[in-house]
A and B are shown apart, each in its own frame.
Chain A
């Protein structure tokens, strides 16, 4: 009987000896955020709430992971997808959490959280007070009041939206998921004034040095359409040039442009580049993806450094690869799970190299 009571007491005491709260990230590092660098949003796994923010510092030549968590002592959210810096603030779009985190760009301290967004994908800051947010599922563009960090209105697009690029007083919004149009919004009065029929699933857009809008259409996931690269005059909205990718299985993504606005870059079985005056798509790869799973791309507007993320197997930690403008690998750094969107933080004064 005595032994029985001892075992009972031990079992009871064991029941109250453990505590827990929330998921723990085991490798939190101190962040180093001053100076120029590159933010990388790590998407994490869908519905797992393990998205994070990494920062590559040019000063220390290191990548600091879990930067948002380190500063704000809370996780970033579920599938952070993109980020944009405007003035002293950075806006981090957290897709599956339906929110935008507003932080100080130099210290990452949280300023506000804008909730109530439906599957946001990209933000485009128009001026100090206004921004547009696109949505994967909503049929409207959300208008933000950046002075109060609140939702101030909606633009009925009647379609989901993806990439957004602004040229003078026009915003060009791509209807990516299942669509084939780029909508044109007059930004002063937030009205849809026109649309351009392009290829299937316009995914990313850039403006070149001549003001031409380049639109990369990846053809759709069902591979029933050829991917296309299309050049549009943003004034007349006419298609100037149209390049069809040779194989139905070509699915290019992440159109970017260099500092001078002369050379286009995109991912397709590696990194490819193309001068805006070329008459054909590049047949060869500029940077081989080797064993990496190239996922997102960014060209630093300050120095033409090329940053590519490697999503690895989408379950383990991925990498960030930094190349110089000639395609030489400068550094390879381990980021978090599914490193994706890239946002450059450059000081007002040039700091090249």
Chain B
């Protein structure tokens, strides 16, 4: 289960999948265990930035990394673990640099309204980190130590045992890095100088324990995830001489208890979750000691049933209760959000499937305007895998707890943000010959967000949260994969391109945006490609990731130039009946490009890492 020969990243059409989602007509990408196995000692942020069209805004190696879909913000992306929301309720977002890719068995990325079937979704979309059992009767030990440039050491261990009725999976990881890479400092004086990054150390550790029990009626499971990260936060180059000595410590405990019935006619599931996130930030220079604790109790239950031969009906009831204890709030705060969603998927004809979803949310004691989504999917030729899809949805987002209660500046009068999304797409999967397969997709989208919350300077020298902006994002996403396979030789080419125009809907003086200008930190163009060649047990892959200019100011008067970075990996494995040994060498930023993802935060130049995998099955 940890590795197989398939590495195709294929956009899948999910219309009646085993995961219980009703997503006909909506875009979704699934990165399976084969893809994840190439990134076991890297983070989910690395995985998504190289393998999807998401833009990951990163403060550098080990630094905070947040994703954004289709020109929306990180707060418009929901991260879930086995469909349970793990976004920090204070911030409303999730730091993807905290999670090693080896901690997930699959990652499902659902775009726009397609995300609404999963834990409420997000305007941009949802990223579902899946951990799941493999009901084989076998024991597996997987060990993956690694080391790399700039003082990086990592280790991932996975132990699986069980049979067709019981499975235990234990994962653990350690990661530490000095991140003292050299960079060119143009601000040090009249001449650029090469310096080394300071105060950028990161240390992480965590483990996940999963237990699954399978009976004739259903599956009972428990999952527990502990994770701790300690890191120094480097300052932007413009603040190097200030050196405030910032530190951030994150500690998360996540536990799920689930039951899922195996009744084919009516599948019932219920999950209870407890999530605890602690985020402490210190800044010696300005004597800040920010301590923030968020605890969430979540109950999620649903039923999926068939109504006749052509319709499936899904009913979901979610409740999330948040308790916040922060020295940045005036007193303890809590809130409760409950939602009821009903969705149906109907195959109207052989070639036409539709999906409808409506959701009502009770936010504390207030009923919100219902959200909805509608999608349709057409397969015009029964013998060919050509698909057309179109959808429209309306979703809403309650303000984060920081937006409401942070002192000073939190605003308890904030309204919800509303997002409207339309999408149309085309997808093909074509076997060109016995040795060549092609699949591709082209999607056009448009988002419109009203009452977007921004923090702006107020009347009394501090910033205040307010509903001020209306933004519009529109663009296209395309993807092509070619696989050539013959005898011991296999080659993959995967190319992704996206174009996003994200602008204020109209001139909003208070919002800071005016005119037809691109929103800050949203690249208009993104391109990435991967070429991988396997010959017998040897392989090599080359990846390129190009990001266009990102504006730094609302009037677009300054910007970060575009960049293109590449990586190269070489590896080989030795397989026997029970054991697998694998060695891989990765060169990141192959051409030693000097670039910044966020202004004045230099990214590492060329770096090397070595990964060893030892796996034994019995």
Contact = CB atoms under 8 A, between A and B. Distances in A.
Q: Do these two chains interact?
A: yes
Interface of A: 1, 4, 7-8, 11-12, 14-27, 45, 47-51, 72-75, 77-78, 96-99, 110, 113, 115-119, 137, 221-223, 251, 311, 313-317, 337
A110 B566 CA distance: 38
B283 to A, nearest CB: 9
A11 B493 contact: yes
Max chain B C-beta neighbours (<10 A), residue from A23, A24, A117:
A23
Interface string B369-408: 0000000000000000000000000000000000000001
Contacts of B591: 15-16
Contacts of A315: 456, 512-513, 553-554
Contacts of A22: 186, 596, 600
11 contacts: A8-B493, A11-B495, A15-B544, A24-B560, A25-B557, A50-B599, A110-B189, A115-B241, A116-B241, A137-B286, A222-B460
A21 B553 contact: no
Contact of B552 (A7, A20, A48, A99): A48
B595 A20 contact: yes
A98 B242 contact: yes
Interface stretch (B49-57, B155-163, B197-205, B232-240): B232-240
Contacts of B493: 4, 7-8, 11
Given A4-B493, A97-B241, A16 B512 contact: no
B151 interface: no
B4 interface: no
A337 B553 contact: yes
Given A20-B595, A313-B509, 10 more contacts: A18-B561, A19-B561, A26-B557, A47-B239, A48-B238, A97-B242, A137-B287, A223-B460, A251-B460, A313-B511
Contact of B242 (A7, A14, A119, A251): A119
Nearest to A312: B509
B286 A4 contact: no
Contacts of B561: 18-21, 24
B190 A98 contact: no
Contacts of A96: 238-239, 242
Contacts of B566: 12, 15-16
Contacts of A48: 236, 238, 552, 599-600
Nearest to A253: B461
B190 A314 contact: no
Nearest to A110: B190
Contact of A77 (B238, B459, B527): B238
Contacts of B594: 20-21
Contacts of A99: 241-242
A19 B482 contact: no
A316 B460 contact: no
B187 A4 contact: no
B544 A77 contact: no
Contacts of B241: 97-99, 113, 115-117
Contacts, number: 180
A49 B236 contact: yes
A20 B239 contact: no
B531 A221 contact: no
A47 B59 CA distance: 13
B237 A4 contact: no
B563 interface: yes
A26 B512 contact: no
Contact of A26 (B459, B531, B559, B599): B559
B303 interface: no
A14 B512 contact: no
Contacts of A45: 553
B286 A119 contact: yes
A19 B184 CA distance: 14
A313 B529 contact: no
Contacts of B243: 98
B559 A19 contact: no
Nearest to B561: A20
A50 B187 contact: no
Interface in B90-140: none
Contacts of A316: 512, 514, 553-555
B256 to A, nearest CB: 37
Nearest to A25: B558
Contacts of A14: 527, 529, 544, 546, 564
B564 A18 contact: yes
B436 interface: yes
A23 B559 contact: yes
Across the A-B interface, give the 8 residue pairs with the lowest CB-CB distance, nearest first.
A49-B238, A15-B544, A315-B512, A98-B242, A11-B529, A20-B561, A115-B241, A78-B238
Nearest to A315: B512
Interface in B227-275: 236-243
B457 interface: yes
A49 B554 contact: no
A117 B242 CA distance: 7
B16 interface: no
A21 B186 contact: yes
Contacts of A72: 190
A23 B558 CA distance: 7
Contact of B285 (A26, A119, A251): A119
A23 B560 contact: yes
A171 B491 CA distance: 76
Contacts of A311: 457
A23 B599 CA distance: 6
B574 interface: no
B431 to A, nearest CB: 14
B462 interface: yes
A17 B593 CA distance: 11
B600 A49 contact: yes
B614 interface: no
Contact of B190 (A12, A15, A49, A74): A74
Nearest to A95: B242
A16 B595 CA distance: 13
A343 B456 CA distance: 27
Contacts of B73: none
A19 B593 contact: yes
Interface string B596-608: 1001100000000
Contacts of A27: 557
B430 interface: no
A217 to B, nearest CB: 14
A8 B285 CA distance: 50
A326 B511 CA distance: 34
Interface in B509-524: 509-514
A11 B190 CA distance: 38
Given A15-B529, A18-B562, A7 B238 contact: no
Given A97-B239, A97-B241, A20 B460 contact: no
Contacts of B557: 25-27, 317
B290 to A, nearest CB: 15
B544 A74 contact: no
A144 to B, nearest CB: 15
B103 to A, nearest CB: 29
Contacts of A313: 456-457, 509-512
Given A18-B562, A22-B186, A24-B559, A78 B460 contact: no
Nearest to B190: A110
Most chain A CB within 10 A, of B243, B456, B599, is at: B599
B539 interface: no
B81 interface: no
A20 B591 CA distance: 12
Nearest to A338: B457
A4 B436 CA distance: 10
Nearest to A18: B564
A110 B285 CA distance: 27
A75 B511 CA distance: 26
A75 B544 contact: no
Given A49-B599, A97-B238, A4 B482 contact: yes
B236 A47 contact: yes
Contacts of A8: 493, 531
Interface string B529-556: 1010000000000101110000011111
